[in-house]
Amino acid sequence: MDGFSYNNIFETKGIEYIIIIAFLLMIIPFWIAINRQVSLKSQISNAIGMLSESILRIPKGLLFNKNHTWVHLGKSGIAEVGIDDFLLHVTGELRFRELKKPGSFIRKGEMLAAADHNGKILKIYSPISGRVEKINLLLTETPAVVNDDPYEKGWICKIKPEGWTEETRSYFLADEALAWTKAELLRFKDFLAGSAMKYSPEASMVLLQDGGELCDRPLSGLPDEVWHDFQKSFLDMKG
């Protein structure tokens, strides 16, 4: 080869080797950077950004109470009881256990059921007193029902109420319910920023795993302590 010299970096293809080595060296930090867990802060701010009242369903004809249950009194005098959309959006899919038996008597504020999300338990309290007439069998057969349709097919039980007027006086209806849900969302954002940050060291936290649900259901990946706090601040009976 004429004029070939081992000192010429172009002729020895040295520069091409250097680029390939640079590529191999750079793909390592690139790969690490793209796979690092999405930081807790941006996950939480994402969750806060996504959870808005516009995605929550709040039917106008139901009475909502402060521990995130609803009641609806039908013509027959039997009231349906269920949990609200806020709770479902915050927690993710729930399964119900320890339901009250039909025929038994329940007082307002007594535990109606335990809602289980992957082993994390929330206690649901009854919003009214009365005799339990019926349990929704769909809940145990196809738990997805309550998640898709918490107000129609997803009722939890039917109760024959006693002292309805007195007990539901402070409950929210229609626009009041909407305003209250908005306030609850704000409160929940504060709660997330406070409690979630307190208990979850950043490394162990995965709110949004790769390919998991985005932003919706922020409690889903958080540790038991946060759920415990959530129970105290949002579900325990306050009247």
Partner 1 sequence: MNNNLTIARDNTGKPSWQFLISELKPKGKFLTPFNIISIPVMILGLILIVIRFWKGLGAITNLTQEVPWGLWIGFDVVTGVAFAGGAYVLTFMVYILNMQKYHSIVRITVLNGFLAYVFYAGALLLDLGRPWNVINPIIGNSFGTSSVLFLVAWHFLLYMIAQLIEFSPAIAEWLGAKRARKILSGMTIAAVIFGITLSTLHQSGLGALYLMCKDKIHPLWYSEFIPVLFFVSSIFAGLSMVIFEGSISHRVFFDQISEKNHKSHNGIITGLSKICAVAMFAYFFLQLLVFVHGRHWELLNTPMGYWYILEMAGFVLLPMALYFYSYRRQNVTLIKVAAVLTMLGVILNRLNVTVIGFKWAASVRYVPTWMEFAVTLAVIFAEIWIFRWVINRMPVLRESPSWVNEEN
Site for partner 1 in 183-212 (CB under 8 A): 208, 210-212
Instruction: Decide whether 9 or 179 has the Cβ nearer to partner 1.
Output: 9
Q: Is 145 exposed, middle or buried (0-12, 13-18, 19+ CB in 10 A)?
A: middle
- For residue 63, the SS3 value is strand
- For residue 137, the SS3 value is coil
Q: Which segment (10-18, 155-163, 166-174, 227-235) binds partner 1 by CB under 8 A?
A: 10-18
Instruction: Return the residue of 12, 30, 175, 186 that touches partner 1, per CB under 8 A.
Output: 30
By CB under 8 A, residue 10 contacts partner 1: yes
By CB under 8 A, residue 146 contacts partner 1: no
Nearest Cα to 25, choosing from 13, 14, 35, 17? 17
Instruction: Return the residue of 140, 194, 214, 238 that touches partner 1, per CB under 8 A.
Output: 214
Per-residue contact track with partner 1, 40 to 69, x per CB under 8 A?
--xx--x-----------------------
By CB under 8 A, residue 38 contacts partner 1: yes
**CA 116/CA 108 separation, integer angstroms:** 21
Point out which residues pair with 117 in neighbouring strands: 120
Tell me which residue has tokens 């940050």.
Answer: 197
Residue 12 CB, shortest distance to partner 1, in Å, is 13
What HEC string does 21-44 produce? HHHHHHHHHHHHHHHCCCCHHHHH
Q: Catalog residues that contact partner 1 under the rule CB under 8 A.
A: 10, 15-16, 19-20, 22-23, 27, 30-31, 33-34, 36, 38, 42-43, 46, 148, 208, 210-216
